[in-house]
Structure 1
């Protein structure tokens, strides 16, 4: 006697599948819903009032005085549509044996620092806990530090990149790309140098490596931030789609930290670095250890407007 399976039972079987790397099963519909929610959060963050799309400039400071305003000859020169005129001077100088940036505001400029009227002071940079935010009208700017270089990054909600933004494009969501990897810790975290698009490098402590397979090919990724006790890990990687559908320099990925030696890498959540949208970012580049040979046709595609 033939056994007939109800159509509903067959559908249930079809939508419960194992992830590409083996391990726990995933419900296709639930997984798609979760990735779609992540995509919505990603879009919201990117298009936020002071998000990456609002950058209007990155200006590197020189030793001594750097005038900030809209006049010809100003070291930090804003487009007049963003700033009312001269704003301040920023002095890059030595303080107690270390480089620092001193603000001297122009009294008539109406400049604010963290929402309060500006006074002469040493400015915190993005290398500190929080940078001091200078503002006038809708213009905001602050000091960034990259190794021994100091710069000014500026934002405005009417930035051309924000006004011309056309949205994000993704590969179809596919649970195949939700891969379970095995975390192999090092005896001691290793320090590696992470290059950047501006030619600087930063040090990152790597707790170990995540090993997994893509279509039978063995792969490895190094989490570049987050220690063993941190809840999430961050990766910068490139793959066979880099420059062929995705951003040429690579993409970012975040995962939960390892649990019982296992890590879930969901490449459906791979996303572009800020440099895919603006020339005023200083993005890290993937170390050679994070170059994957297979084409990861998942996650965010290249942004065509930049």
Structure 2
């Protein structure tokens, strides 16, 4: 497929729909912009001003001790007193409701955390939109997926200093850009068989968020061909809030060219409309 093959009107409409859906999730009543704190749990129970109960990380997983008059709803069931959430797997999350507040209980980088989400959080209620480059078909590149003989564990840094994430990489995505061939390490994507690429480029810290951008790629076809659409290079939650633990790109995913496509620095971080 070439730039000439693309229906520009349909292309722009599809991009606008993608961007709209992404913004809806981000700024939803309990989206990332609703998070009011990031709590790192310890063996000793601790109370927080934005969530009921005393929370601790124990051998049986995350435990909350609710005082008289406090309650949570977990999986549709009202719980009072002591409740154990069990051991949560890395990068998994479970949720408990307290009125209109949703409390995320999760594990990140081997640590148990709690992140309350309040719909009236100012970061959410003041959100308008994320600036982005105009969608342009010339940033759609055809590439190929180069699979590893077996998935390789790759350790990357995180938006939180000192934290690390380990992801399995099924292979690399190869494509041409500005006359050069590049290979980026890919991780498993959101869709079955799909890929996620985390990267930075020469716009990072200038017009796009400095730490990372994320690109979802549809599953390779039977011959390993993939479409790399940089127009859909999106911000991760850490671009908006310090209460996120987003992964950073592997060193080899730092492109030396300027990818002037996709989402730009959020207004909340000083970005320009």
TM-score (norm 1): 0.80
Q: Are positions 1:108 and 2:69 aligned together?
A: yes
In the alignment, which of 29, 48, 53 is matched to residue 28 of structure 2? 48
Contact 1:124 1:130 in 2 (8 A): no
CA shift, 1:274, in A, is 0.2
- Give the 3-state SS of the residue equivalent to 1:57 in structure 2: coil
Distance of 2:66 and 2:220 partners within structure 1: 49
**Matches for 1:177-256 after TM superposition, within 5 Å:** 177-198=139-160, 199-226=162-189, 230-256=192-218
Q: How many residues align?
A: 266
Structure 1 residues 190 and 148, CA gap change in structure 2 (3 angstroms): closer
- Give the 3-state SS of the residue equivalent to 1:189 in structure 2: strand
Distance of 1:236 and 1:133 partners within structure 2: 27
Contact 2:104 2:117 in 1 (8 A): no
Distance of 2:151 and 2:58 partners within structure 1: 35
CA shift, 1:128, in A, is 7.0
CA shift, 1:256, in A, is 0.4
Structure 1 residue aligned with 2:240: 277
Structure 2 residue aligned with 1:90: 55
In structure 1, the gaps of 5 or more residues are 1-16, 69-75
Alignment deviations for residues 216-249 of structure 1 (CA, whole Å, 9 cap, x no partner): 022121211249x933211111111000100000
Contact 2:234 2:262 in 1 (8 A): yes
In the alignment, which of 109, 113, 116 is matched to residue 147 of structure 1? 109
Q: Computing the radius of gyration over CA atoms, which structure comes out larger, 1 or 2?
A: 1
TM-score (norm 2): 0.89
In structure 2, the gaps of 5 or more residues are none
Distance of 1:291 and 1:128 partners within structure 2: 26
**Matches for 1:27-66 after TM superposition, within 5 Å:** 27-66=7-46
Structure 1 residues 110 and 122, CA gap change in structure 2 (3 angstroms): closer
Contact 1:57 1:280 in 2 (8 A): yes
Alignment deviations for residues 259-282 of structure 1 (CA, whole Å, 9 cap, x no partner): 122110101111101011111111
- Give the 3-state SS of the residue equivalent to 1:222 in structure 2: strand
Structure 1 residues 226 and 47, CA gap change in structure 2 (3 angstroms): closer
In the alignment, which of 126, 130, 151 is matched to residue 168 of structure 1? 130
Contact 2:144 2:226 in 1 (8 A): yes
Task: Give RMSD over aligned pairs.
Answer: 2.3
Structure 1 residues 124 and 35, CA gap change in structure 2 (3 angstroms): farther
